[in-house]
Amino acid sequence: MSKSFLIFDLDGTLSDPKDGIVRSINYALEAHGFDSRAEADLLSCIGPPLDASFRELLQTSDESLISSLVKKYRERYADVGFAENCLYDGVFDSLRSLYGEHPLAVCTSKPVAFARKIIEMFDLDGFFEFVDGGDVGISKVTQLSDLSSKGLVGPGSVMVGDRMFDLRAAHENGLRSVGVLWGYGSFAELSAEKPVMMLDEPRELHRAAGSCV
């Protein structure tokens, strides 16, 4: 039988990826002759799929350009960007308290190879039964749908994330969601998606387990 997992987003939920993402986006923009952007202008890029972020930033539908930007971004991210990541205070202890009491997993829009490097860097890999990653053109809705159709994720599972994309993906797959407020989604953004609860700090992550059925 499928298990009822607590499924965690990675960026903005378990770790803060700001420096690596901002620097790698600007690296890709500059390599293509575009001006770099201020950090504040790039925070909205933390959460959505990377191709969608570049499409929005440049207001372009040129798929060859988008593909080239993504490739250049990943060139830097694979080298140093993934390591420019900080684990939120309280995450490790919360996962340790949940481990063994509830099955845990990760579902992130970033490629699974990057996700695993980050998770291993913080010694979190032993907590999760699986790590699911995305790629260009694959939404989190599709990721969760695939996990459900493969029988990996049961209908009582809960998606925990900091952006509307996480919560919306859960709801479109008939799952519950929990919003976290220490990441990059605002209270207004998250509350509009009607999660079963919102958490103020990582030390409250254990509360999300009560939402699984």
Active site residues: 9
- Closest to 125 (Cα-Cα) out of 133, 135, 115, 110: 115
Distance in angstroms (rounded) separating the CA atoms of residues 110 and 130: 15
The secondary structure of residue 89, as a DSSP letter, is: T
- Closest to 74 (Cα-Cα) out of 136, 116, 140: 136
Buried residues in 95-125 as b, exposed as e (16+ CB within 10 A): beebeeebbbbbbbbbbeebbbbbbeeeebe
Structure tokens at 44: 């909205």
- Residue 103: alpha-carbon gap to chain centroid: 18
Secondary structure class of 75 (helix, strand, coil): helix
Do residues 51 and 134 make contact, with C-beta atoms less than 8 angstroms apart?
no
Distance in angstroms (rounded) separating the CA atoms of residues 138 and 52: 10
Do residues 6 and 102 make contact, with C-beta atoms less than 8 angstroms apart?
yes
